[in-house]
Amino acid sequence: MHKDTILKLARGFRGRAKNCIRIARERVEKALQYAYRDRRSKKRDMRSLWIMRINAGARIYGLRYSNFMHGLNRENIQLNRKVLSEIAMNEPYSFKCLADISDQAIKAKAAAARPKLVP
């Protein structure tokens, strides 16, 4: 990179890292590495946050996250985790309907799997 580009990217850094080209080059390179890495980790962090919110919402209605998601998949309700977490936070009645549907699907599966006793 050109000297001007590096110093432009180094604006806001502390000490000589903002105006001494040799130090600025190292700091900018490291900053770009952090930015590349954290763009990917941000996606992982957001997904885990959505899962935590869905789990918290499902626990209110007596379901675990895995059972809740399995019940939705059995009923072919295809909502992604981002949307489900928003519903869990902002639309409790809608989320309760989803939890009821999921719970019924799980109970129907359990009833079908139970062996029939013939007297």
CATH 1.10.1900.20 fits 3-113, yes or no: yes
**70 contact partners, CB below 8 Å, separation of at least 6:** 102, 105, 106
Which position has the token pair 């850094």? 13
The per-residue pLDDT string of the chain (119 residues; one tens digit each, 9 = 90 and over) reads: 899 999 999 999 999 999 999 999 999 999 999 999 999 999 999 999 999 999 999 999 999 999 999 999 999 999 999 999 999 999 999 999 999 999 999 988 877 777 766 66
Range 22-27 contact pairs with CB under 8 angstroms and sequence separation of 24 or more? 25/1
Give pTM, 2 decimals: 0.79
Q: What phi and psi values does residue 35 have, to the nearest 5 degrees?
A: -65, -40
> How far is residue 84's CA from residue 30's CA, in Å, rounded to a whole number?
37
* Identity of the amino acid at 11: R
> How far is residue 86's CA from residue 115's CA, in Å, rounded to a whole number?
39
Indicate the domain borders of the chain.
Answer: 3-113
> How far is residue 103's CA from residue 97's CA, in Å, rounded to a whole number?
10
